[in-house]
Structure 1
Amino acid sequence: MEIYELIRSDRRTLAVEITRDGRVLVRAPRRLSQAAIDGFLSRHEAWIARQLEKRRAAPPPPEPTAAEIAALKDRARAVLPEKVALWARRMGVTPSGVKITSARKRYGSCSGKNSLCFSCFLMNCPEPAIDLVVVHELCHIRVKNHGPAFYALLERYLPDYRERKKLLR
C-alpha cells in the first residue's frame, strides 16, 4: 500500500480520497483500530491504484483564477435561478433560497430547510447535466435521502437521468 495520510475525526465511517495532487487521504473514526483501517485499505487497494494511475497519466488542469471563478459565478447567477424556478413549478415544490458557491467536491446540495446551493463549476457541464443537478436537488425537497423513493421521483421528471449523470464525470 502506498503511503497515506490518516485523518481521525468524530465520523462513523471509513473513507479514502485521492487528492488532486495525488495524495491518499484516509478518514477514519477516532476509535477505529489500525487493523480495521488496514483491512479496509487492502480491500480497496485495486481502486486506489487505479485512481493514482489516472492522476499520474492525466494530471488535473490548473486551478482556475479568481477572475475565472468570478465569471463562472456570474454565469451561474444568470442561469441557475431561472432553471430552479422552471423546474420547481413543474415539480410543485418551493425552495427557500438559491445560493451559488465555488465548492469543488459537489455540484449541488439541499439543506434541511430546503435551501439549494450550487457550485459555479456546474456551469462547465453540458446543459442536460445542469438540469439533472437542479432536478436532483429539487427532489430532495420532497425526499431527503437517496433511497428508492428519491430515485423514483427523479426518474419521473428525468427518465434519462442515468445518461445525464454520465455527463457530469
Structure 2
Amino acid sequence: METVVLPDATVIEYELIYKKVKNMTLRIRPDGTVTVTVNRRVSQKRAEEFVREHAAWLQKRRQLADTRRQIGLPERLEQDTQVLWLGTEYRVAWNYPAAPAVELYGDLAVVSMPDPSAEFAAKVYRDWYQAQSERVLTDALDRVFPHFEPLGLCRPRLCLRYMTSRWGSCSYHKGKITLNRYLCQLPPALIDVVTAHELAHFFHPDHSPAFYRLLEQVFPGYRETAAQLKEYFIL
C-alpha cells in the first residue's frame, strides 16, 4: 500500500495498480480501500499527485458512505461478513468442498466452492449476482411496463450495466432503457421506482412537472418512495 499525507495530517492509503489504461482512475472498494489504476508509463510521483488532487472527493465519498448503506460487489468475501440482496442483509457462510453456487437460507448466504478462499468466494458470489440480476431486473420491467402500455408505449429493449453515477437511463430514440445491476441490492419497490422513472422518459425526456405528474399517475406515492434512494451509496 502507498501512503499520501495531506497538509492537515490526514493519511490516505491506496493501492497502486498498473494496467493498460488510457486514463488514471481512482476508486473506493466496498471494503473502503482506495485503488489508483494507471498506465505503466505513469510514475508513482504522478499517481501520488493524482490522489492529492482528488483528496476532497475521496473524503466526501467516505462521508457519504458513513451515512448511507453501501452498494457494491466484494473482491473478497470472508465468512460472517454481510451481503445485501433485494434490501435484505445476509450473513455469509462458506460451504466446501462443493461446486460453485450461492443459496439463500433464512438470514444466510451460503457460498459453495471447491476450496476455501475469500477471493474465490467473492468470484462465486459475483457470478451468481450477475446471473440473478438478469432475472430480477427483467421481472421489474415485466411488473412496471403494463402501467405504461395503455398510454401507447411499446415495450423497450432492456440493457443492464454496473454504474456508479446513476441508477438507470433512457435512450428513447433507440427504444431502450438501461438499468443498473446494483439495483438488485435495493428493495423491490425501489427497483420498480427506477424502472418507472426510465419508462416515463419515453413521454417526457426532461424532468418537467409533466414528467412527475405522469409518474404519480402510474406510480402513486412516487416521490416519497423515490426519496428512499438517497439512503444508498454506490461505491
Pairwise TM-score range, normalised by the shorter structure: 0.5 to 0.7
Note the residue ranges of structure 1 that are not aligned, 5 or more in a row.
3-18, 22-47
Query: Per the alignment, in what secondary structure is the counterpart of residue 110 of structure 1?
Result: strand
Does structure 1 conserve the Cα–Cα contact (< 8 Å) formed by 2:71 and 2:185?
A: no
- 1:85 deviation in Å? 2.5
Give the deviation of 1:73 after TM superposition: 2.5
Give the structure-2-normalised TM-score. Answer: 0.46
Q: How far apart, CA to CA, are the structure 2 residues paired with 1:62 and 1:91? A: 31
Q: Which amino acid aligns with 1:109?
A: S
After TM superposition, the runs of 4+ consecutive aligned structure 1 residues lying more than 6 A away are 58-62
1:131 maps onto 2:192 in alignment: yes
Match of 1:77 in 2: 134
Q: Counting helix residues as a fraction of each chain, which structure ranks higher?
A: 1
In 1, the alpha carbon distance for the partners of 2:212 and 2:174 equals 21
1:96 to 137, 156, 163: 156
Give distance in 2, aligned partners of 1:80 and 1:124.
11
- Which residue does the alignment assign to 1:41? none
Q: Alpha carbons of 1:135 and 1:64: their partners in 2 closer, same or farther (altered >3 Å)? A: same
**Aligned partners of 2:72, 2:145: CA distance in 1, in Å?**
36
Q: Secondary structure at the match of 2:177?
A: strand
Deviates more, 1:64-73 or 1:81-90: 64-73
CA displacement at 1:88 relative to structure 2: 1.5
Identity over aligned pairs, percent: 25
Tell me the residue number matched to 1:109.
169
Q: Which residue of the partner structure matches residue 54 of structure 1?
A: 63
Instruction: Measure, in 1, the Cα distance between the counterparts of 2:208 and 2:74.
Output: 35
Which amino acid letter does the alignment assign opposite residue 196 of structure 2? V
1:64 — aligned with what? 74
In structure 2, stretches of 5+ residues that fail to align are: 1-6, 8-26, 33-56, 76-122
Q: Tell me if the contact between 1:110 and 1:140 (Cα under 8 Å) persists in the aligned partners.
A: yes
Deviations 1:121-140 (A, max 9, x none): 00111111111001111111
In the TM superposition, what is the alpha-carbon distance from 1:56 to its structure 2 partner? Answer: 8.5
Inter-CA distance 146–57: structure 2 relative to 1 (3 Å threshold): closer
Q: Specify the code of the residue in structure 2 equivalent to 1:78.
A: R
- Per the normalisation by structure 1, the TM-score is 0.61
Q: Which moved more, 1:159-168 or 1:145-154?
A: 159-168
Cα 1:114/1:107, change in 2 over 3 Å:
same
Distance 2:129 2:190 in 1: 16
Cα pair 2:72 2:182 within 8 Å, conserved:
no
CA distance in 2, matches of 1:128, 1:102: 19
Match of 2:143 among 80, 86, 90: 86
